């Protein structure tokens, strides 16, 4: 009874692997969109956000009419300084990469949580537009009060930090070697009382 069930399970698994392999080898584009935002504090006290995108086509076919749209940055919070929040490319070949960036100036102080950007593209074999989303960005602390760093502490840490860690590892090793183990105590606790 167990052998026919095992044969059925093996057959189903084999069919699943063959079907998924046929989908994996089909010629389609596969877009990976990396979104990155970096803060830049100006001497005037204003803060600018540089947003950059890298779009990779990891698939085996060309993507056509690739459109990037980032609606995360609302006008009351950010002002567009340089570039556009959306961009269109005619095609993105298999294994290709395209990049886009724009710069914003922050108007409001506080934490900001951005959503992924949307990328739409067309595949010649399908009538419906395909969608891909970018990676999300880490929360940004816009116009945050940054405490001043003590440059002396940073220099001391950079100069002697590795030396302190090596010395502490050597001391720990010597302590472990020099400390006698108590094998009799371990044996006495494990003996059964009769």
In a domain, 153, yes or no: yes
More confident residue, 106 or 147: 106
Instruction: Indicate if 124 and 154 belong to the same structural domain.
Output: no
> Mind listing the pLDDT tens digit for each residue in 151-185?
777 788 788 888 888 899 999 989 888 887 766 65
Please report the pLDDT score of residue 124 as a whole number: 84
Residue 86 belongs to domain with CATH number: 2.60.40.10
User: Whose CA is closest to 146, among 112, 117, 102, 109?
Assistant: 109
Instruction: Indicate if 90 and 59 belong to the same structural domain.
Output: yes
Instruction: Indicate if 53 and 90 belong to the same structural domain.
Output: yes
130: Cβ contacts below 8 Å, ≥ 6 apart: 29, 63, 120, 121, 122, 123
Q: Tokens for 178?
A: 């020099």
In a domain, 86, yes or no: yes
In a domain, 92, yes or no: yes
Least confident of 8-17, 102-111, 143-152, 173-182: 8-17
Instruction: Indicate if 114 and 172 belong to the same structural domain.
Output: no
Please report the pLDDT score of residue 145 as a whole number: 72
User: Whose CA is closest to 41, among 141, 149, 152?
Assistant: 141
Domain count across the chain = 2
Instruction: Indicate if 73 and 108 belong to the same structural domain.
Output: yes
In a domain, 24, yes or no: no
Instruction: Indicate if 94 and 162 belong to the same structural domain.
Output: no
In a domain, 23, yes or no: no
Rounded to an integer, the average pLDDT of 59-80 is 91
pLDDT over 70 percentage in the chain: 78
Instruction: Indicate if 85 and 152 belong to the same structural domain.
Output: no
More confident residue, 151 or 49: 49
Rounded to an integer, the average pLDDT of 53-58 is 94
- For residue 75, is pLDDT > 60? yes
Instruction: Indicate if 113 and 159 belong to the same structural domain.
Output: no
Instruction: Indicate if 137 and 55 belong to the same structural domain.
Output: yes
Instruction: Indicate if 161 and 91 belong to the same structural domain.
Output: no
In a domain, 78, yes or no: yes
Please report the pLDDT score of residue 140 as a whole number: 86
In a domain, 188, yes or no: no
In a domain, 187, yes or no: no
Please report the pLDDT score of residue 163 as a whole number: 87
- For residue 9, is pLDDT > 70? no
Radius of gyration for the chain, computed over Cα atoms and rounded to the nearest angstrom: 29
pLDDT tier for residue 41 given thresholds of 50, 70 and 90: confident
Q: What domain range includes position 157? A: 148-177
On average, the pLDDT of the chain sits at: 82
Instruction: Indicate if 64 and 97 belong to the same structural domain.
Output: yes
Instruction: Indicate if 58 and 153 belong to the same structural domain.
Output: no
pLDDT tier for residue 149 given thresholds of 50, 70 and 90: low
Rounded to an integer, the average pLDDT of 54-76 is 92
- In the sheet with 86-92, reading across from the earlier edge strand, the strands are 86-92, 63-69, 118-122, 130-133
Angle CA 119–120–121, to nearest 5: 125
d(C-alpha 165, C-alpha 167), whole Å: 6
> Mind listing the pLDDT tens digit for each residue in 119-141?
999 998 888 899 999 999 988 88
């Amino acid at each position: 009874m167990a052998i026919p069930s095992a044969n059925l399970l093996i057959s189903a698994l084999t069919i699943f692997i063959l079907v998924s392999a046929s989908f994996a080898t089909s010629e389609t584009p596969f877009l990976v969109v990396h979104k990155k935002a970096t803060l830049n504090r100006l001497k005037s006290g204003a803060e600018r956000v540089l947003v950059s995108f890298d779009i990779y086509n990891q698939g085996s076919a060309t993507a056509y009419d690739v459109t990037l749209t980032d609606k995360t940055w609302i006008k009351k919070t950010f002002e567009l300084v340089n570039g556009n929040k959306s961009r269109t490319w005619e095609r993105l070949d298999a294994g290709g990469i395209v990049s886009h960036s724009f710069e914003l100036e922050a108007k409001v102080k506080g934490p900001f949580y951005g959503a992924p950007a949307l990328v739409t593209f067309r595949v010649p074999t399908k009538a419906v537009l395909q969608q891909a989303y970018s990676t999300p960005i880490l929360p940004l602390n816009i116009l945050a009060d940054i405490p001043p760093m003590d440059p002396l502490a940073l220099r001391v840490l950079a100069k002697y930090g590795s030396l302190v860690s090596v010395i502490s590892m050597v001391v720990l090793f010597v302590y472990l070697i020099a400390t006698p183990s108590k094998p009799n105590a371990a044996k006495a606790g494990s003996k059964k009382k009769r």
